């Protein structure tokens, strides 16, 4: 295992990689220390991946804001188990450098074997699900890259680890807000971040990294201490003239469906778009039961469609647009 103690004077030549992942970590550290601009790539979860150039100064500030929010201290141990391809892995290294943490690097797999106890780590929901029995070895865990599903959230509430669901994107240098699972209903915005909503109810963000407001396609409601997230504006379904938020419907259905599923739509002559339940792999689903739930007649799925495997991004986020394309006749 590659272990780098940034609380002490660091020399890249004193560290040797034993595998490709460790070499990617050392390569990034060397580049980061020698450059003021860092090239990163978006994940492609909302469109085609694209290259962005971030300033080191802003990445440093992002690391410090996270450290302050989570009360991370010098000499704390941090576990790196995310790939260096995207911003999440890169920022774990930046946090270790800037906060003077001791960084432990293990290859990024879905099912992790965590070798020891650590103060801090970052994972995707898929990693948390597959590695659930190992999570008790981590004191503070930030989770991003995809939404934390209902079943996983309930499981995370039962462990001693402080788990935080994050909201952010590559353009905002990872998260701008977090909510502690089992405690916070709303996402709490980090200091120096500003938020507002547009005419369509979508979130606008102003970070200390830019003078401009960033408009998102995410539907939110501003609260006293942050915001509630309801899904993406471009995922809204218009059925019979009624606009339906699929993630809202999914949250109601989650306790009644065991596996992965999404609410989507197919073309319909009478409704324009007809709500359908798309389920990963074949499992028994009782549509009649859904009519008894707190759903309007427009929100109740009219049909169940089974897919063997959902398309996902590298971070494990389900790609709704690709599913909808697949459902077209």
DSSP state of 190: P
Q: Could you give the C-alpha distances from 62 to 2, 36, 67, 170, in angstroms and in order?
A: 24, 15, 9, 12
> What global pTM score does this model have?
0.83
The answer to the question of residue 217 being in a domain is no
Instruction: Give the integer Cα–Cα distance in Å for 288 and 301.
Output: 10
CATH number at residue 13: 3.40.50.12780
The answer to the question of residue 155 being in a domain is yes
The answer to the question of residue 196 being in a domain is no
The answer to the question of residue 38 being in a domain is yes
- Render pLDDT for 302-311 as a digit per residue (tens, 0 to 9): 888 999 899 8
The answer to the question of residue 225 being in a domain is no
The total of structural domains in the chain comes to 2
Please tell me whether residues 52 and 181 are part of one structural domain: yes
Lookup: tokens for 24: 């990617």
- Render pLDDT for 91-120 as a digit per residue (tens, 0 to 9): 999 999 999 999 999 999 999 999 999 999
The per-type count for the chain, helices as H runs and strands as E runs, is 8, 19
Whether residue 46 has pLDDT greater than 80 = no
Confidence of residue 33 (pLDDT cuts 50, 70, 90): very high
Q: Look at residue 20 in the predicted model and tell me its pLDDT.
A: 96
Angle at the Cα of 219 from the Cα atoms of 287 and 128, rounded to 5 degrees: 70
Q: Any residues with CB less than 8 A from the CB of 209 and at least 6 apart, and which? A: 54, 55, 58, 61, 62, 172, 173
Q: Look at residue 315 in the predicted model and tell me its pLDDT.
A: 67
Q: Which domain holds residue 8?
A: 2-190
Other beta carbons within 10 Å of 45: 21
- Boundary of a domain, candidates 190, 207, 225: 190
First to last CA, the chain: 50
The string over 260-286, giving b where at least 16 C-beta atoms fall within 10 Å of a residue's C-beta and e elsewhere, is bbbbbbbeeeebebbbbbbbbeeeebe
């Amino acid at each position: 295992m590659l272990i780098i103690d940034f609380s002490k004077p660091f020399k890249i030549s004193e560290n040797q990689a034993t595998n490709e992942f460790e070499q990617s970590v050392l390569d990034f550290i060397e580049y980061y220390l020698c450059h003021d601009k860092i090239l990163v790539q978006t994940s492609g979860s909302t469109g085609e991946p694209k290259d962005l150039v971030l300033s080191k100064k802003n990445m440093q500030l992002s690391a410090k804001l996270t450290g302050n929010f989570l009360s991370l201290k010098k000499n704390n141990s941090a576990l790196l188990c995310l790939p260096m391809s995207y911003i999440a892995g890169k920022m774990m290294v930046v946090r270790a450098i800037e906060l003077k943490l001791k960084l432990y690097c293990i290859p990024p797999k879905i099912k992790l074997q965590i070798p020891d106890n650590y103060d801090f780590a970052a994972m995707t929901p898929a990693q948390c699900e597959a590695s659930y029995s190992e999570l008790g070895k981590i004191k503070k865990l930030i989770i991003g890259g995809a939404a934390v599903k209902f079943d996983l959230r309930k499981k995370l509430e039962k462990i001693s680890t402080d788990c935080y669901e994050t909201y952010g994107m590559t353009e905002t240098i990872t998260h701008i807000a977090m909510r502690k699972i089992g405690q916070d209903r709303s996402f709490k915005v980090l200091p120096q971040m500003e938020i507002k909503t547009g005419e369509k109810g979508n979130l606008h963000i102003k970070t200390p990294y830019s003078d401009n407001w960033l408009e998102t396609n995410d539907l939110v409601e501003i609260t006293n201490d942050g915001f509630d997230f309801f899904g993406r504006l471009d995922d809204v379904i218009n059925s019979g003239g009624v606009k339906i938020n699929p993630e809202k419907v999914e949250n109601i259905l989650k306790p009644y469906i065991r596996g992965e599923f999404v609410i989507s739509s197919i073309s319909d002559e009478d409704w324009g778009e007809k709500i359908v339940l798309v389920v990963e792999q074949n499992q028994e689903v009782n549509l009649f039961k859904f009519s008894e739930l707190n759903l309007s007649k427009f929100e109740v799925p009219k049909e169940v469609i089974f897919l063997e495997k959902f398309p996902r991004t590298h971070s494990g986020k389900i790609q709704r647009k690709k599913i909808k394309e697949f459902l077209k006749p």
